[in-house]
Chain A
């Protein structure tokens, strides 16, 4: 069981790290956005599962409330990402992709 735990812990931490690495390393905002929103959800998810397992083993009764945090992150992280990219588009931040006229013209709004 310790192996599973250790695996979860290290995997989770690794994903967390990679997410932040993407944040630091990638070249434009839109690509940077991908790292934290995805990598960290799984990363933190793994760590939380590890915690659930750990406390279920080490204390009497199972511990499942970590699932709540995971659930919560799964609902919120995409919303944050969505809003961030919306804000970035609004600010007309440079993107590595030359934006295609067709896709934006009706999206890149002005009401």
Chain B
């Protein structure tokens, strides 16, 4: 069914095309547009002119034959659906190339053909060569496509539009633009890679791992023509400059020669055809490179002819492979006897390839020779061009001879897997049809091909094409002489093949593009691995180091680049003794932490002192709330660190060598200097802030005297909501993370002493119990007064938490846990909910989220007191802090007991 559907699809395409053909022959260019990205100049625009029509017909016509052929070529084990859907994807994309008006759109289809080609080459996925060939083709044509994208972007910029109508009309502007050469190179890279031009040709032979219908269709008739199509398409806009001629001409010529030369030495039938295809593509390229209108017409003509004879040759080769089980010409011999019909067809097509008169290949080759001769008259040593081309022609004839003689004659087949025989009728029909075309065009060019060639040339040149004469006999002229020389030379060359092959084996066997490509690829991968490993060692130290260094570079660059002074003009505060003592103490303790960080307990005690002095600094510089917070956080942090320290090695071995330590000291010192100088530069500068507003509005607008607290719960309550969400998240994250965690508890301390027997010293236990109500009272006090005096929900929450931690410390987990609500999740949830709902409450009275309100109540006996929504918010904060802190600590405290007695775990739901 897949084949039927594909056939139907192709016919449908032809049917769509048919009604539009007459307009083209009338000289009109049909443009159809669907808006896509008009603002960026990319619409879906299709253009049907002669050139496009010619290609569309080739694509659909040969496509239809291939669909038929492949139906019988593929075996029952192959997935027809997959094959045909890829094939149709390709056909659609190829049509898209032929019919695009917008070059970006053209590129889209262009890359799609590469993708389709990749899929089709790797169709037999189990074969290594298929996979490699597909990847190579994708890499090369993909690279070209990308270059072309660059070229097209430049072209669009130069021409002011991506649409061919504009581009083709502004050839003069384009050629005069300073970006012409880079643009040209990029565009041509695309074309050359796609059309397998030297030195990018080597992907094509490797693509022969594809099923033969694919080779016939994509890799000879259509896709590889996309490159030359592009040269034809952009011919009026880009050609006619020396750059064009030299680039296109020389690459084409090299390709023509190299392809023809290598083709002769291929033993694989498809290999020969592949290199021959390369050579012919070179031929066409040379024609476009010559740059005259007539040469371009010849180029188009050869595109048609090559598509016809090469497709039939590939199909014939496919038949031979299919029916004999081999493509090796050293084993294939004398097939004339086994499959005379196929042999005849193949021989006619091969003759056309060789340029034998009365066949279509002869006509375009004659034009090619003629154009080469006339082009050669325009520069010094111009005779070299026809001479060199004749040499190429000799090889072309020789490999064509080989194709005929080595396969169908030359003795008996050697050791073939199958006994060859004629294929089914339906497999031959496409070949017959194409060979018939070879003959028809070859004998009656004016009746068959001339009209379509004429409109195609019109489309190509965007003007009336020059007169051309498709006669078989032009009289004796240089071109005919070249043809004859090629024929004779080819025959002679083939006659001496044995010696030639030996010679080739000896000297040229090694130089294969594939190996070069593979080497390049492995070098690329090695480079990638090397560079990546150099940067990304997967170590945290590297990550942190690169961060610190980057930050230093950024900060220094920022400051130095500004040219402003380090120190500002602000008056400074005098120094006093106590501050000095405290600061020195802090600095020594901090340095002590660093120096003694391997004695972890000591480091911990020292960092406690650092935290205390930080709190003192807050006190000194008028921040009581901060001091309270810092003090509470400090203790909880130290308790946490101790809980952790229990499970970590106490005195680890020294890790870093001296060089690393020195480096880190230098980096750290630089970072410290940076931070200190930045602080200095700001502290010494005068400033003006929005703070006045808060001081003015805290009481009248926020109902509190403690401006810091009013900012926290009111002016910037949203920050606080986020902050408690962070705390809640930390608790939940820790809870989730510690689940199922088992840590071996050390049985002795760092000096190897076993732990003390006294789990809960009685003195501590009984007196801390005494402290609990006291501490709770203090925490409520701090909560309630926060709005007007230092304090607030956060500090209160921490005090409560610390009071409860004290119980854990003194009386143990089991004892305390049994006296507290087991599950802290609801506490966190409700706290956050209260805070959020307090914020949402303001919606009810038509204010934005978190708008506060407060009022004064005057109750008998109690007196006048303030009720503020901010207090509810602070209560939420309080609950989250208590819940989160306890959830974290308790769970950690429980951790080592989990391994022993899981049953004691408080039930925390998922």
Judge A-B direct contact (beta carbons within 8 Å).
yes
Interface residues of A (CB under 8 A from B): 72, 75-76, 79, 82-83, 86, 90-92, 109-111
Closest to A72 in B: B774
Q: Which residue of A75, A79, A82, A110 has the most chain B CB atoms within 10 A of its CB atom? A: A79
Interface size on B, residues (CB 8 A): 14
Please measure, in the bound complex, the distance between the C-alpha atom of A111 and the C-alpha atom of B758, giving whole angstroms.
9
Measured between beta carbons, the chain B residues less than 8 angstroms from A79 are: 763-764, 767-768
- The distance from the CB of B736 to the nearest CB of chain A, in whole angstroms, is 35
Q: B384 contacts the other chain (Cβ, under 8 Å)?
A: no
Contact of A86 among B751, B754, B761, B770 (CB under 8 A): B761
Contact of A109 among B757, B764, B771 (CB under 8 A): B757
* Contact status B758-A86, CB under 8 Å: yes
Measured between beta carbons, the chain A residues less than 8 angstroms from B767 are: 75-76, 79
Interface residues of B (CB under 8 A from A): 751, 753-754, 756-758, 761, 763-764, 767-768, 770-771, 774
* Contact status B763-A82, CB under 8 Å: yes
Label chain A's interface by main secondary structure: helix
Please measure, in the bound complex, the distance between the C-alpha atom of A109 and the C-alpha atom of B761, giving whole angstroms.
14
* Contact status B764-A82, CB under 8 Å: yes
Q: Could you pull out 6 A-B pairs where Cβ atoms are within 8 angstroms?
A: A72-B771, A75-B771, A79-B763, A79-B764, A82-B761, A92-B753
Closest to A65 in B: B781
Please measure, in the bound complex, the distance between the C-alpha atom of A72 and the C-alpha atom of B761, giving whole angstroms.
20
Measured between beta carbons, the chain B residues less than 8 angstroms from A111 are: 757
Please measure, in the bound complex, the distance between the C-alpha atom of A92 and the C-alpha atom of B756, giving whole angstroms.
11
- The distance from the CB of A82 to the nearest CB of chain B, in whole angstroms, is 5
Measured between beta carbons, the chain A residues less than 8 angstroms from B758 are: 86, 109
Measured between beta carbons, the chain A residues less than 8 angstroms from B771 are: 72, 75-76
Measured between beta carbons, the chain A residues less than 8 angstroms from B763 are: 79, 82-83
Given contact pairs A72-B774, A79-B767, A91 touches B753 in the complex (Cβ within 8 A) = yes
- The distance from the CB of B619 to the nearest CB of chain A, in whole angstroms, is 15
Closest to B771 in A: A75
Please measure, in the bound complex, the distance between the C-alpha atom of A86 and the C-alpha atom of B756, giving whole angstroms.
9
* Contact status B753-A90, CB under 8 Å: yes
Measured between beta carbons, the chain A residues less than 8 angstroms from B756 are: 86, 90, 109
Please measure, in the bound complex, the distance between the C-alpha atom of A75 and the C-alpha atom of B764, giving whole angstroms.
10
Contact of B761 among A83, A91, A110 (CB under 8 A): A83
- The distance from the CB of A109 to the nearest CB of chain B, in whole angstroms, is 6
Please measure, in the bound complex, the distance between the C-alpha atom of A110 and the C-alpha atom of B763, giving whole angstroms.
19
Please measure, in the bound complex, the distance between the C-alpha atom of A109 and the C-alpha atom of B757, giving whole angstroms.
8
* Contact status A75-B770, CB under 8 Å: yes
Measured between beta carbons, the chain B residues less than 8 angstroms from A82 are: 761, 763-764
Please measure, in the bound complex, the distance between the C-alpha atom of A111 and the C-alpha atom of B761, giving whole angstroms.
14
Contact of B764 among A72, A83, A90, A110 (CB under 8 A): A83
Please measure, in the bound complex, the distance between the C-alpha atom of A83 and the C-alpha atom of B761, giving whole angstroms.
8
Please measure, in the bound complex, the distance between the C-alpha atom of A99 and the C-alpha atom of B489, giving whole angstroms.
118
Please measure, in the bound complex, the distance between the C-alpha atom of A90 and the C-alpha atom of B764, giving whole angstroms.
16
19 more CB-based (< 8 A) A-B contacts, given A79-B763, A90-B753: A72-B771, A72-B774, A75-B767, A75-B770, A75-B771, A76-B767, A79-B764, A82-B761, A82-B763, A82-B764, A83-B761, A83-B763, A86-B756, A86-B758, A90-B756, A91-B751, A91-B753, A92-B753, A109-B758
- The distance from the CB of A24 to the nearest CB of chain B, in whole angstroms, is 13
Please measure, in the bound complex, the distance between the C-alpha atom of A79 and the C-alpha atom of B766, giving whole angstroms.
10
Please measure, in the bound complex, the distance between the C-alpha atom of A76 and the C-alpha atom of B770, giving whole angstroms.
10
* Contact status A110-B757, CB under 8 Å: yes
